Chain A
Amino acid sequence: MTDYDLTPGTIHRGLGFIARWPGIVLVIPSDPVHDRAAEELLAALGPEPAPTEVAQVVHEALHNGQLRTAGYLAMAAGGPLAMVSGAIEILSDGVQQFSGTAGLVKQQVNATDRLTMRATNLTKATEPVPPYDLRRGIAPGAGITLGSLQTRRDRPVTPPRPDQVRNEPSVREPQPAPDPVAVPFRSLTLFDQTGPVTHRPALPVARPALAADDVPNRSGARDLAPAEAPGSGNQVAMVHGILCSRAHFNNPGAQFCIACGIAMVHVTHNLVPGPRPTLGMIVFDDGSTFGLDRSYLIGREPHTAPNADPAPLTIQDNETLSRRHAEIRLVDWSVHLIDLESTNGSFIWDPDSERWNQLPPHQPVVLDPGATVALGRRTFVFESVTQQ
């Protein structure tokens, strides 16, 4: 049996930390927000902690929410013991064994050539990079492969057919799932519907915008977008904008048409009413993305109805976000951020002074495209195509 404590440890590039000490390997893929927690945890462990101490500290950090994603491989007599929680997976000889996506999993693993523990969001760029061989200490990266990449690398690895895949019984912590029947549940059958079923109109079939010659009164923009916000009963706000020469509706300040890219310099800047298009999107540090076709109330528990205005935007965060932290409010063509007297504050990054500027509570601030915003320890970026 390979002693994975002695083999090369090839790093997978990516954001996060890898730590390797005698008897244990730790991977903490970072989302930028939790960097500090990972750094603090690694600093607290000191230069060469005992495997049991590492395991204990990691379990505590996962339990109290300090970390969301972490995994370790601890060397044990019967083979390495793997623990994964969050978006992190274990591979034996390149074949996925299990991941922590659905909750913490802890079980023994083995492999012929190599064991991999890595963030599950890896793609091409973060295959193992041979020159980086971590034997002891801490390095940046989002995964590690223990064992040889070279010797039997060419041998094809056949993944098991789906009907052959069986999950090994796994130990789940902190508590095994409750007895399924003991916990009450409510349910509704869907195959023998007797109640009234709501009727919805068919989705509209997209039609090309009117050609320039066919535009009789230059107000055709009203027909070009759906009149209702998706998934909500709300009317879309009407705003004033200008039409490009092909009758696409644009921000009055636009230099190029957002729909066809044509230059707007020659159009007459007559303002016409039209439904407001999506003003861009906000992209959170973990990749979750929300379209700015509506206003949002952001917080841990915003508690508004989903089709309310503003719509709830729930961010699951461990106490650095207030229940109702901030509001994103669409006003005509601009996007406003309003801090709702949050405990830890709302901040906008100022690239010139390289500082976070805190928003005074309840005072709307206009977000410029590209703005980076911090709410508690979470961050997002406002991206926009309609406002350059």
Chain B
Amino acid sequence: MQGIADYEFVHLLGEGGHGSFWLARCPARLSLGLDYVAVKTLAHHGSDADFERLSMELQHYSSVTSPRLVQLYEVGLQGDILYYAAEYFPDGSLTQPARPFNRASVLAAVADAALGAHALHEAGISHRAIKPSNVLIDGPMAKLGDLSLAQVLSPGQTLTGLENLGSIEFLAPELIQGESGSRATDIWALGATMHRVLTGRPIYPSVPDDSPLEALRFLLSQPPTLNDSLRPDEHQVVAAALATNPLDRPPTALDFAKMVSDLAHYYAQAEPL
């Protein structure tokens, strides 16, 4: 694609099961005074009714004021392509930060994402797509971006397809089984994110990829395997968030954020930059 609406695309930032992210020049029409924005184009073929629903959902998201949530600028529909424009983060995400990150800053970023999630929960929204690539680096802080819109466009859908098997570890087992998003499912995703960024490994070491059904059956029959490279106090926090029973996880994302930021502070003192 070369652009959408009056956004001119510079290059592709990434692709996911639901759509593509582009670096785009910010149209003067918006009077934002920004050079660049990130534009997401959704793979779902959109109608006017989809646009209305998406707008309502994103307006509600935008009404949540938290410094730990990515700012959205606009939602639109051109032809049958739905898109939205959001803040662009040149420093990248926790998947591929553009500058080196020590353990304390990684943990601080996970804690920031948890605070963003908590703000959403308090406003009645479950994020449903927390993973390292959605934790965006903004100077000394991190922000949570790109909430899942699958429920808005395709109600009841828990997995969009095989492409998602790579990020299936971030889906709580009860979410895979068809339950709805909750505080507890986002807390699972935060735990899996923390595990992934600290160890570089997935929590399910070998998911069969021959058929989606086999993969799902495998996941639902296996508890996650935590990597040995986690330090004992990190292991404890991750294991709590990844408890199979949602009731055994920290009750709120704020509780989880406190546990993680305690670790981050501890490391920051122990290992100064």
Contact = CB atoms under 8 A, between A and B. Distances in A.
B212 A286 contact: yes
B257 to A, nearest CB: 15
Contacts of B59: 188, 190, 193, 195, 197-198
B76 A280 contact: no
Nearest to B7: A180
Contacts of A195: 59
A183 interface: yes
A209 interface: yes
Contacts of B84: 190
B60 A198 contact: yes
Contacts of A312: 155
Contact of B5 (A87, A187, A259, A296): A187
A177 B212 contact: no
A123 interface: yes
B11 A163 contact: no
Contact of B76 (A181, A185, A294): A185
A126 B162 CA distance: 14
Interface string B148-162: 000111111111111
B209 interface: yes
Nearest to A381: B213
Interface in A308-350: 311-314, 316
B51 interface: yes
Interface stretch (A34-42, A129-137, A145-153, A226-234): A226-234
A290 B164 CA distance: 14
Interface stretch (B181-189, B223-231, B233-241, B264-272): B181-189
A201 interface: yes
A289 B75 contact: no
A124 interface: yes
Interface in B150-182: 151-166, 176-182
A208 B98 contact: no
A184 to B, nearest CB: 7
Contact of B216 (A209, A278, A383): A383
A283 B93 CA distance: 31
Given A200-B125, A205-B183, A294-B155, A286 B162 contact: yes
Nearest to B173: A385
Given A14-B209, A311-B156, A180 B8 contact: yes
A191 B56 CA distance: 14
Given A125-B210, A198-B60, A189 B3 contact: no
Contact of B157 (A165, A288, A383): A288
Contact of A189 (B20, B74, B92): B74
Given A163-B90, A200-B123, A230-B181, A188 B74 contact: yes
10 contacts: A14-B209, A121-B165, A166-B11, A187-B76, A188-B59, A188-B76, A200-B123, A283-B216, A287-B159, A287-B161
Given A125-B208, A203-B126, 13 more contacts: A102-B1, A121-B209, A123-B166, A162-B96, A166-B11, A188-B59, A189-B74, A206-B251, A280-B177, A287-B159, A289-B212, A291-B158, A313-B157
7 residue pairs, one from A and one from B, having the closest CB atoms: A291-B178, A230-B180, A200-B124, A287-B212, A187-B76, A185-B78, A180-B3
Interface of A: 14-15, 31, 87, 99, 101-103, 120-126, 161-163, 165-167, 172, 176-177, 180-181, 183-191, 193, 195, 197-198, 200-209, 226, 229-232, 259, 278-281, 283-294, 296, 305-307, 311-314, 316, 381, 383, 385
